């Protein structure tokens, strides 16, 4: 069960990932900016704002503990910065870290660029449709991710140019993940691992190690 609003704090993040004093400062600044911009932009669902640390920040932070060797991430459809900005905050102390944020919405891109400048994190914002940006992607990355963007079948199709190069993925999925896997396997040969979410009772993070299109 998610915490009551007055219990929602950075401690939710510490329960799933290591947080230094500097990281805490970056994450706190980010949450403050989300709350400030939320007054004029619909960045996240209003009903989840009181639980932002648990529902969004800690949920995103799970990736760092699950995949500690991944320092360069490609976040498809970053939206308000989950998980991409959270990853950049958590990995900022590593010289090799770089998070590429793909987002089509111009106003959200403006918000993301403002956050990157304000808290000086290793992230780059790319504005455009995912399929167009990914098609000619040439930057080295360790892993691709997406949260609340599209069904699994669609996500695999969008990220196929990346997956085909041997780069794995980590996709956040909710309670209907079994149905999404069933649908996706009609079109793709998948090598995947289910990691139970430590935040969402019925959620998982699907680690897609490879995905090849089915033929015949």
Per CATH, which fold does 5-213 belong to? Rossmann fold (3.40.50)
Arithmetic mean of pLDDT, 167-171: 98
What is the dihedral angle through the alpha carbons of 97, 80, 127, 156, rounded to the nearest 10 degrees?
80
Q: How far is CA 164 from CA 31, 122, 209, in A?
A: 35, 26, 10
For 124-149, the three-class secondary structure string (H helix, E strand, C coil) is EEEECCHHHHHHCCCCCCCEEEECCC
**Are 134 and 163 in contact, with CB atoms under 8 Å apart?**
no
User: What digits encode the pLDDT tens for the residues 133-166?
Assistant: 999 899 999 999 999 899 999 999 999 999 999 9
Q: What is the pLDDT of residue 117?
A: 98
Burial label, 138 (beta-carbon count in 10 A; 0-12, 13-18, 19+): exposed
Percentage of the chain lying above the pLDDT 90 cut: 91
Q: What is the pLDDT of residue 114?
A: 98
User: What digits encode the pLDDT tens for the residues 28-74?
Assistant: 999 999 999 998 888 999 999 999 999 999 999 999 999 999 999 99
Q: Where are the domains of the chain?
A: 5-213
Those residues with Cβ within 8 angstroms of residue 134's Cβ, 6 or more apart along the chain or in another chain: 74, 76, 102, 158, 159, 161, 162
Q: What is the pLDDT of residue 4?
A: 41
Q: What is the pLDDT of residue 216?
A: 64
Burial label, 189 (beta-carbon count in 10 A; 0-12, 13-18, 19+): exposed
Arithmetic mean of pLDDT, 112-123: 98
**94 — pLDDT class (breaks 50, 70, 90):** very high
pTM: 0.94
| Residue 6 in this model has a pLDDT that exceeds 60 | no
Q: What is the pLDDT of residue 108?
A: 96
- Mean pLDDT (the chain, rounded): 94
Arithmetic mean of pLDDT, 14-36: 96
Q: What is the pLDDT of residue 7?
A: 54
Closest among 44, 63, 64, 62 to 52, alpha carbons compared: 44
Where residue 120 falls (left for φ over 0; alpha for ψ -120 to 50; beta otherwise) is left
| Range scoring the smallest mean pLDDT among 2-16, 35-49, 92-106 | 2-16
Q: What is the pLDDT of residue 72?
A: 98
Q: Compute φ and ψ for 105, nearest 5 degrees.
A: -75, 120
């Amino acid at each position: 069960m998610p915490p009551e609003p007055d219990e929602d704090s950075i401690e939710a993040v510490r329960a799933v990932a290591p947080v230094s004093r500097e990281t805490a400062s970056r994450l706190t600044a980010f949450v403050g900016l989300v709350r400030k911009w939320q007054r004029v932009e619909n960045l996240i669902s209003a009903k989840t704002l009181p639980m932002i640390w648990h529902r969004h920040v800690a949920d995103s932070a799970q990736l760092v503990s699950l995949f500690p060797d991944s320092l360069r991430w490609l976040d498809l459809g970053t939206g308000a910065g989950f998980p991409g900005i959270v990853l950049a905050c958590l990995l900022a102390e590593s010289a090799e870290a770089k998070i590429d944020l793909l987002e089509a919405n111009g106003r959200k891109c403006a918000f993301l660029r403002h956050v990157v400048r304000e808290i000086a994190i290793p992230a780059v914002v790319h504005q455009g449709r995912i399929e167009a940006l990914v098609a000619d992607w040439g930057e080295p990355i360790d892993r691709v991710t997406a949260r609340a963007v599209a069904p699994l079948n669609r996500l695999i199709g969008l990220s196929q140019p990346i997956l085909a190069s041997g780069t794995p993925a980590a996709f956040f999925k909710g309670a209907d993940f079994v149905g999404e896997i069933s649908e996706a396997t009609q079109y793709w040969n998948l090598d995947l691992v289910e990691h139970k979410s430590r935040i969402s009772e019925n959620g998982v993070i699907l680690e897609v190690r490879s995905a090849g299109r089915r033929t015949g």
